[in-house]
Amino acid sequence: MTAGLHTAFDVEAVRARFSSLGSGFTFFDAPGGTQVPDEVGAAMARALREASANTGAPYATGHAVDSILAGAKADAARFLGGTPEEIVFGANMTTLNFALTRAAARTFAPGDEIVVTALDHDGGVAPWVELAEDRGLKVHVAAATDELTIDYADVERLLSDRTRVLAFAFASNATGSVADAQRLCRLAREAGALSWVDAVHYAAHEPVDVAEIGCDVLLCSPYKFFGPHMGIAFLRRETAEPWRAYKARPSATSPLGRRFETGTPAFELLAGFSATMAYIDSLGGMPVLREYERELAARFLGGLPANVELYGVRGLDGRVPTFLVNVEGVEAEKVSLALAGRGIGVWAAGNWYCVGLTDRLPPSSLRIGLIHYNTAAEVDRLLEELASFS
């Protein structure tokens, strides 16, 4: 166990389940995609070996893929808090979002409005922007505060009787700040609009309960939480039941979630996703991972060198353990390359796909993402390396 941290969480035992962590390289790039435990890869390979068929085939491999699909739906429902019938799988969050936004907007009229926020990843914004271009809609972007959090007063100002959707990121992919999702979903309901939540970054660090949040739509991606590259959406039954999906006509249209899934599911990815859920469960679930990650985050914030500038929320409250920083007097790309040469993975980029923050962020910055397989020793070493730049 890592000295000084939560004694009930055995991070070394966790790390032993990841072949990719055995090289000695330290990964602080979780926001760009996490490492994957070996058991997830094994489940995917097993599905390819033993379950190469399609749903409905009246023999062993057909039964196998039916079981994989049903299990993955149940696992996703449990992870997000909905029912299996309300779960939709897709290639990735962005592709799935483009499809769902178009199904939802069939009845929208020219002049109808969509409200998004400056903190949003463009995967949650571009589908509405393109739809607005096609259909004569208007997209309004709610401002960010000086602390790079959502300006709720601006959200309320933008909502009107023409608003059809309030879309927002539960946690910022760039700054790590967390939205008050319950408040935003309530504002959407009061305006007669849909609440549309991008939980891609949030679901990697915090438990999700769609019933508690009160949202109509929520999307996430398992590659952010130790699983395969795919997209998952929750669609509230009462909201999505009237929607007509874009898909091949003979394809299944029930239960509800299947209506919005096009083509043959990637059964090997679904098997890997279920193995991911089993992995998280074996550690005690997301609340356990959250507690450990927050201890790492407190260590990082408490030891931040004087030559490092932090953008956004200063403390632990109102954030996930993702930090946007720069080293004084050194270009972010140079720091990133130097750290990579020293065995530490940290990315450098510009707006981090948060187009609405382009004018509020430096031209380039470092994004440091902590996750539950990181150790206190790795955090300490990163802090020492950052302090060494001048």
Name the segment(s) of the chain with CATH classification 3.90.1150.10: 11-18+285-387
Chain centre distance of CA 131 = 22
CATH code given to domain 42-280 = 3.40.640.10
With contact defined as beta carbons under 8 Å apart, do 55 and 255 qualify?
no
Q: Indicate the average pLDDT of the chain.
A: 96
Distances, alpha carbon 301 to alpha carbons 128, 182, 313, in Å: 36, 27, 11
Rounded Cα distance between 120 and 116, Å, is: 7
Rounded Cα distance between 222 and 232, Å, is: 8
Given this model, what pLDDT does residue 1 score?
44
Beta bridge mates, 345: 27
Could you count the other beta carbons within 10 Å of the beta carbon of residue 206?
18
Q: Is the pTM of this model over 0.85?
A: yes
Domain 11-18+285-387 has CATH 3.20.20.120: no
Percentage of the chain beyond pLDDT 70 is 98
Q: What is the pLDDT of residues 142-168, one digit of tens each?
A: 999 999 999 999 999 999 999 999 999
Q: What is the pLDDT of residues 117-149, one digit of tens each?
A: 999 999 999 999 999 999 999 999 999 999 999
Helix crossing, 60-80 with 267-282: angle to 10°?
A: 50
Q: What is the pLDDT of residues 332-381, one digit of tens each?
A: 999 999 999 999 999 999 999 999 999 999 999 999 999 999 999 999 99
Given this model, what pLDDT does residue 3 score?
45
Name the segment(s) of the chain with CATH classification 3.40.640.10: 42-280
Residue 2 has pLDDT above 60, yes or no: no
Beta bridge mates, 327: 308
Q: What is the pLDDT of residues 200-236, one digit of tens each?
A: 999 999 999 999 999 999 999 999 999 999 999 999 9
Percentage of the chain beyond pLDDT 90 is 94
Q: What is the pLDDT of residues 375-390, one digit of tens each?
A: 999 999 999 999 999 7
Residue 69 has pLDDT above 70, yes or no: yes
Residue 5 has pLDDT above 70, yes or no: no
